[in-house]
Structure formats: C-alpha cells, structure tokens
Structure 1
C-alpha cells in the first residue's frame, strides 16, 4: 500500500465523519507519519511551526480515533493501517471497494484479505516487479502492540541481516523494552521478502514436536500433517524434527517464523539459557536451522539468550543477536502523551528508568496520579519509587540462582562499577564460578559492562538497584 492509497483511505474516513476532505496540512501530517517523520520534520517541510502542526495532528488523530472506534496516534498509525489490511477488520463490497467499519475506501490496488472467521490465517497478494506473490500471514499469537517509538537503527540492522540471509536472529531484552513492537514494525517493512510469516508464543511451553506440527500445518494450508514415509536420515534430525519435514518447507518456501517468550522453556534457578527437562531438543533445533542450507529466517524473542547462540553467532555467520536497549530522547513522546509537566526534567527520568518504554509508561502514570504531573516533585524524594515495577522485576529475579542473587546483592551495594577480580569476602563464590555468574547475568540483560582503565567493570541500573535494596529491607 503506497502513501497515495493511505491518503485516499484517510480522506474517505474523514469525509464520512465531517463531510469535509483532508486539507493540505492534514495530508502532510499523514504523509510524513507514514514515512516515519517526526513533527519537527513535518513542520519544516510545511513551513509551519511545530506547535501548530502538533495541534492540527492531535485533532486529526482524535477524529480518526472516533471514526474507527480505536485509539489512533502518530506512533501507531502506520501499524494500524497495515493491520486493517492484514485482518478481517475490512471487507470487499460489491463495488470492489474496501469497507473499514461503515466507511468505504477506493482500493483499486488494495489486496484482498482472507475471510476466515477464526482470523488464524490471513493471505494477501503482494505485487512485485515480475509477478504477484501470495503471502500467508499468521500473527494470531502476537500480542497487541504497544506504541512504537523510533528505533531506526535497530530496524535497519535487522532488515540488513534478513536481506543478507541470516537464518537465526535473537532479539534480547528485559520485559517491556520493546521487542514485540520492534518485531511487528519489522514485519511491516520486510513482509514482501517472504511467502509465509508466522508468529508463535512459547508462553505455554509447547513440546518441540507440537510446535513443528503446528508450523507445518499452517504451511500446508491447514491440511493434516502426514506421517513421514522415510525416517530422517540423521539421528540429530530425527531428534529435532520427530521425522517431520519442517526443514523441507523452509527450503521450498521463504518463511519468517517468530518465536516469542523463549525464556519459558528455560529452567528457573539455573544459569541463563539452560533448558527445562524435556526441552533440550529446542537447542538442537536452533542449531540445525542455523547450520542447514535454506532461505528462511527464525527470530527468537527472549529475556535471556539460549546457550547455543553464543557459539553459533558471528560477524560472517548466519546467526546474530540484537541486545535491545532503552530509548533515548524518543521516550519523551511517552511523557507528552501522559501530559507530564516540566519537559526539562524528562531526560533525568529517562536515565533513571533506563529508557524502558513500559517502565516509563508506568512511572508517568504514577506521576500523573500522585503528583499532578509534576516531575520535579516526584524526583524530590530520596528513594526511587518503583510501584508496579516491583512485580515485573520479581519475574526476572525469581529465575536467578543463589549465586546470581548474591552477585546482584553485591553490585546493588557497590555504588561504582565493580571489578570482579576483587571479590569481597562476604561473597561466597569462587573466581571461576563468579565469571560464569556474571556471564549469565549479562545474558539475562540484568548487568551492564563498562570499561575503566582497560578493564571490564560491572554495574546495574538504578531501578534494579532499588528493587534489590527494597527486597533486602523486607527480608530484614
């Protein structure tokens, strides 16, 4: 769908509500938003003030939200338009027009969506230079996206990896950091590269054989998966696929498979990336998909890195990892949406909460509820208030080994970055064990490495530090 089709559809939506067409500035706002421009860029192109553009945009988003019955804003506009086209929220009328709700849009180039009542499988046609490619999309397992904030460099990196035929990509980060939103945005940009795009969550820890049967069934258009006539030739392939020819589908079609919540198949109270009993074959599966010849791609979303990945990844290898960090100045959009005061204080909030979008949304709501939106009043307290963040962090810390918890307690009570060659006496961990522990904590995204005088030192963020100190106080 190109920008002119987006503008035509939006104009019909606005006209249905107001009996007025989009004006020049409204069109410029939608065009700029579709092209992922920010308000200052749009204002400069239109020779208008940023404040005026924001005022007009706010009214436009409100109008579209009222027309469609869902929240529309600059951050989610692009994704929402894509979702309309990928789902049954629109239908084809007798005049070959796209119907969104009660509004018809002129869609001479729009793809026709599947009319499956279950919304489990959707199909649309993507026109290429030589032919029309049929793309099968199943995002039924994907969570509702949070607002997407500008991550241009991360998107570019992931897109380059995929175009470079990377076979396995792991996106790592704490809960709420934006792994889902980033991946959904990535799908909208690279969907034309694939025949099948499938999102599956492992939150219920499905056995590998069940997952593969489900994936093959989707690739077969819902047809039952036949029993293999010939066993897989190699023992490792029989172990990983159960004799099912998933790899054959990955070779004969270009598939993008996203597996979310990978951490649920790992054991708690063990070092990061150790599988639960009965799930070890996932590790062999990831290894096989990385090392076998095919044109498909597997993306893993996880709180912690699978232990095989470190040995498989490399600059010139088909396995890569992206450590997703917090937002920078882009996070200020969260505070604008929440109506916080004192913009000059916002950067301090972003630093304290490490730019984690979910954390910042939680703290912004709390500041609005308790302090009337005053950031300086919130920051005047000596201790960092966590509120609802404590339950989120507990999910991460509940997975740690006793040695990891000791190490985190040490880091929490060490104001400066710690040198692990100088182990305090009260830390009952041997030097070799401490190295394993710090590596594991890094794979869980809980510690940060900084260089001082040519040596690696380790530290933790203020939110995590406060959580550990509060937890220690409660025990005492």
Structure 2
C-alpha cells in the first residue's frame, strides 16, 4: 500500500464519520506520519507552527480512533495500517470501497469537493446545483473573537471586492481588529468565490514555499510539476488572505523594507495587482508594503484600509467584563483609542486592581499600561534610530507638531525628517491632524506614555 492509498483509505473513513474530507494539513500529517516524520518536520514542511500541527493531529487521531474502535496515534499509525493490510479485517473491493472491520465506506456515494475543507461552508441553506460549495481552508486563521460593529469598513471592503479590486491591504496596530474584521468579511462574501484560503506568514515562509502551498490547495490536487499561481487566479475566483505580513519586513529599517531574500514578495504583490484575473488577495499587516503606495488609487485595483479604533460599540467590552459606572466608559474608550485588545487588557486590570471601578482607575494621573507594554514593545522595537528620535520628540510635544520647525537636537535634514515621519505613519504610530490649513503630527496617548516610560527607564 503506497501513501496515496493510505490517504484515500483515511479520507474514506473520515468522510464516513463526518461527511467531510481530509483537509490539506490533515493529509500532510498522515503523509508525514506514514513516512516516519516527527511533528517538527511536518510543521516545517507545511509552514505551520508545531503547536498548531499537534493540535490538528490530536483531533485527527481521536476521530480515527472513534471511527475504528481502537486507539490510533502518531506512533502506532503506520503499524496499525500495515496490520490492517495483512489481516482479514481489511479489504478494498470494487470502486475502491474500503472495509476495515465493521466499518465500510464507498467513495462512489460522494464526490471529493475539496481536500482542504476544515472550515468548509456548512450553513443550513438548501444546496443548489447552480451554487456549489465554497472550498475553504482557514486552518491558519486565529479563533474568531467577538465581533464589534464595523458596518462601514465591511461595506467599503465588500464594494472593493465586488468592484474587482485585486489587492486589499488592511493596516493597523496589533489588536485593532484586522483579523476579526476579515473573518466577518469572509462569512458575508464567501459565495462570491470558488476557493478561500488563509495563510499566516508568522514563520516567514519563502515566497516559493508559500506559492506551492497555495497552488496545491487552489488546484485541489497534488501535482509533480506545479503551474503558476496566476493561472489558478484566472481559472477560478479565489480569495487569498495573508496575515502577519510585517514578519517579512526588516527590523531597524524604515517601514516596508523586506528582509534579505524576501524582496520577491514585492514583485509578487505587484503581479497580483497588475495581472488580469478575477481573484483577490487581502494582506493584514502592522506595516504597509512599500510597493502598495505606488499601486493603489481611486480607480486602480489596489486599495488600502487603515483600520481605526471602535467608538461607542466598544462599551460592549466593558459590559462583558462587568465594569461599573457606564457613564465613565466613553472616557476610557478615548484614552485607549478604541483598540479592542487594549480595552480588554485595561478592563481586566480595572477589574483585578480596582474592583471594576472606572472612576478610581481614572483618578490616577499616570496612564496605566500593564500588559500593553509588551505589545507596544514588539512594534516600537522595530524602529530605526531616526524613528526613535522623532517619536521621542513627538511624545514630549503635548500639541500636534509642525515638522517644518525641526528641533536642533534631531539633527535631521527636512527630506530625512519627511521620510521618517512617513515611515512612522506606515507603521500606524503617527497620526496627521490639520491645523490652520497645515499638516501637524501627533501620537496616541498610549504610545506617548510608553515612549516616555521607556525613556525614563534608560536614564
């Protein structure tokens, strides 16, 4: 029995139990296990974290164990299959019908819609011959959190997609809600696409590895020689979401500069935008890729959405946390700029230290950061020396700053200062406000407090 027969056998068994086929990652786990690979090797080959592979594998072994009535795990899978093969309990009859013990499943009774249906559309709407199921692989997507009202943003992105925008970048600080927004978007527009796949770049996969992974899902088959990704984007309407784009950018350089060996991602984004096809690529990132500014425009197939914080709808966070004094909640939302993650962290702090009293928390002159410091460190630690100088200057300037008046201690020329401020803006760390017809620049209160605290700790 070769690996394809093993996979077909396992797929038949899983479908008999769940009416769902093995997804791409489950197949990779079984293939790797059959080939005596350990979880770290499988994870590396699939560009997934070892923890995620182990989690999916545990569910798969449990499912197979329940189906066959005996304990199945990574260590005994190969032995068990071989035992089936040489026992009277295993047989393959006509049409590849698999019989293992009392379990029988005939693949002629169904068709394999997708080998990557971990999150396949399972709505209760009646199926129609004219509307096939959408093939989805969201195995890399985080668990969906509570979604707060983003009607305007959802409408904007949906209109872009229906208008055949090919590349959409959703930007914002960590915790602002990029993931939650995109997961909600998928649930609303999934029937516009034939295939939907979510991949995280948290482990910085080389572009060639990422493209191979995407093609294997989009083509719905394992091919020896893989054609170009763009061919599938033309032959099918595909939605590809790439999360954690910032991980392929260099730390200590201006925003959007690629790590050595990852420069071809820029050419890839450009190709997706400029080639003729009906698919869409969505990028989620802390930083804007440097090519995007030149590609985007009102009437061009490349758009960017800067995701801002929540408004009054963020009060739902405090309601869930059981905070007191609802009349004070709006002040908290303003202080932490409506960032859902920040507000969740602060609400927990208020509950733990002040018994849920918002007014007692607000009575302190110091803005508490708590666990926010580690989050902000991840983003601010990427700054260049020049960016650190400028953001420190802005942190110590109470009012929005006019950058035409450069302090002597910055020692930056006007062109250098403009490049640095632009880079900070692309990192979502600096905001622009208009005063007397001129652009002034400022930073959020939370970031200001973090920078000032960091400066104090160094002195």
Structure 1 pair 380–9 and aligned structure 2 pair: CA distance change class (3 A) = farther
SS at match of 1:420: coil
Query: For the Cα contact (< 8 Å) 2:115–2:220, is it kept in 1?
Result: no
Query: For the Cα contact (< 8 Å) 1:326–1:355, is it kept in 2?
Result: yes
Structure 1 pair 39–355 and aligned structure 2 pair: CA distance change class (3 A) = farther
Structure 1 residue 145: deviation in Å? 1.7
Q: Within 5 Å, give how 1:9-88 maps onto structure 2.
A: none
Question: What residue ranges of structure 2 are gaps of 5+ in the alignment?
Answer: none
Structure 1 pair 425–316 and aligned structure 2 pair: CA distance change class (3 A) = same
Structure 1 residue 443: deviation in Å? 0.4
TM-score (norm. length: structure 2):
0.73
Structure 1 pair 9–121 and aligned structure 2 pair: CA distance change class (3 A) = closer
Query: For the Cα contact (< 8 Å) 1:417–1:450, is it kept in 2?
Result: yes
- 345-354 or 84-93, which moves further after superposition? 84-93
Structure 1 pair 121–344 and aligned structure 2 pair: CA distance change class (3 A) = closer
Inter-partner Cα distance in structure 1 for 2:50 and 2:199:
41
Q: Within 5 Å, give how 1:190-205 maps onto structure 2.
A: 190-205=189-204
Structure 1 pair 151–436 and aligned structure 2 pair: CA distance change class (3 A) = same
Query: For the Cα contact (< 8 Å) 1:205–1:264, is it kept in 2?
Result: yes
SS at match of 1:45: helix
Query: For the Cα contact (< 8 Å) 1:112–1:125, is it kept in 2?
Result: no
* Residue aligning to 1:144: 143
Structure 1 residue 297: deviation in Å? 0.2
- 418-427 or 13-22, which moves further after superposition? 13-22
Query: For the Cα contact (< 8 Å) 2:394–2:442, is it kept in 1?
Result: yes
Query: For the Cα contact (< 8 Å) 2:199–2:243, is it kept in 1?
Result: yes
Structure 1 pair 369–437 and aligned structure 2 pair: CA distance change class (3 A) = same
Inter-partner Cα distance in structure 2 for 1:411 and 1:27:
52
CA RMSD of aligned residues (A): 14.0
Structure 1 residue 430: deviation in Å? 1.2
Structure 1 residue 66: deviation in Å? 24
SS at match of 1:239: coil
Structure 1 residue 108: deviation in Å? 22
Cα deviations across residues 353-376 of structure 1 (Å, max 9, x unaligned)?
Answer: 000000000000000000000000
Cα deviations across residues 447-469 of structure 1 (Å, max 9, x unaligned)?
Answer: 11000010000001110000000
Structure 1 residue 122: deviation in Å? 7.4
Query: For the Cα contact (< 8 Å) 1:79–1:185, is it kept in 2?
Result: no
Inter-partner Cα distance in structure 2 for 1:135 and 1:80:
34
Inter-partner Cα distance in structure 2 for 1:78 and 1:447:
56
Structure 1 residue 135: deviation in Å? 1.3
TM-score (norm. length: structure 1):
0.71
Query: For the Cα contact (< 8 Å) 1:126–1:134, is it kept in 2?
Result: no
Inter-partner Cα distance in structure 2 for 1:92 and 1:248:
37
Inter-partner Cα distance in structure 1 for 2:328 and 2:119:
45
Cα deviations across residues 131-169 of structure 1 (Å, max 9, x unaligned)?
Answer: 132311000000112211000000000100000000000
Inter-partner Cα distance in structure 2 for 1:47 and 1:207:
10
Structure 1 pair 473–141 and aligned structure 2 pair: CA distance change class (3 A) = same
Query: For the Cα contact (< 8 Å) 1:62–1:72, is it kept in 2?
Result: yes
SS at match of 1:426: helix
Inter-partner Cα distance in structure 2 for 1:309 and 1:34:
43
- 98-107 or 431-440, which moves further after superposition? 98-107
Cα deviations across residues 183-229 of structure 1 (Å, max 9, x unaligned)?
Answer: 000000000000000000000000000000000111xxxxxxxxxxx
Query: For the Cα contact (< 8 Å) 2:286–2:428, is it kept in 1?
Result: yes
Inter-partner Cα distance in structure 2 for 1:90 and 1:428:
78
Structure 1 pair 105–422 and aligned structure 2 pair: CA distance change class (3 A) = farther
Structure 1 residue 426: deviation in Å? 1.1
Structure number with larger C-alpha Rg: 2
1:413 aligns with 2:396: yes
Structure 1 pair 133–366 and aligned structure 2 pair: CA distance change class (3 A) = same
Query: For the Cα contact (< 8 Å) 2:241–2:283, is it kept in 1?
Result: yes
Structure 1 pair 422–432 and aligned structure 2 pair: CA distance change class (3 A) = same
Query: For the Cα contact (< 8 Å) 1:126–1:135, is it kept in 2?
Result: no
1:350 aligns with 2:333: yes
* Residue aligning to 1:308: 291
Q: Within 5 Å, give how 1:350-369 maps onto structure 2.
A: 350-369=333-352
Query: For the Cα contact (< 8 Å) 1:240–1:282, is it kept in 2?
Result: no
* Residue aligning to 1:232: none
Structure 1 pair 383–103 and aligned structure 2 pair: CA distance change class (3 A) = farther
Structure 1 pair 198–257 and aligned structure 2 pair: CA distance change class (3 A) = same
Cα deviations across residues 276-305 of structure 1 (Å, max 9, x unaligned)?
Answer: 000000000000010000000000000000
Structure 1 pair 93–209 and aligned structure 2 pair: CA distance change class (3 A) = same
Inter-partner Cα distance in structure 1 for 2:323 and 2:62:
19
Structure 1 pair 125–273 and aligned structure 2 pair: CA distance change class (3 A) = farther
Query: For the Cα contact (< 8 Å) 2:23–2:114, is it kept in 1?
Result: no
Structure 1 pair 49–295 and aligned structure 2 pair: CA distance change class (3 A) = closer
**Residue correspondences, number:** 457
- 176-185 or 11-20, which moves further after superposition? 11-20
SS at match of 1:124: coil
Query: For the Cα contact (< 8 Å) 1:251–1:293, is it kept in 2?
Result: yes
Cα deviations across residues 297-322 of structure 1 (Å, max 9, x unaligned)?
Answer: 00000000000000000000000000
Structure 1 pair 15–113 and aligned structure 2 pair: CA distance change class (3 A) = closer
Cα deviations across residues 225-281 of structure 1 (Å, max 9, x unaligned)?
Answer: xxxxxxxxxxxx999999953100000000000000000000000000000000000
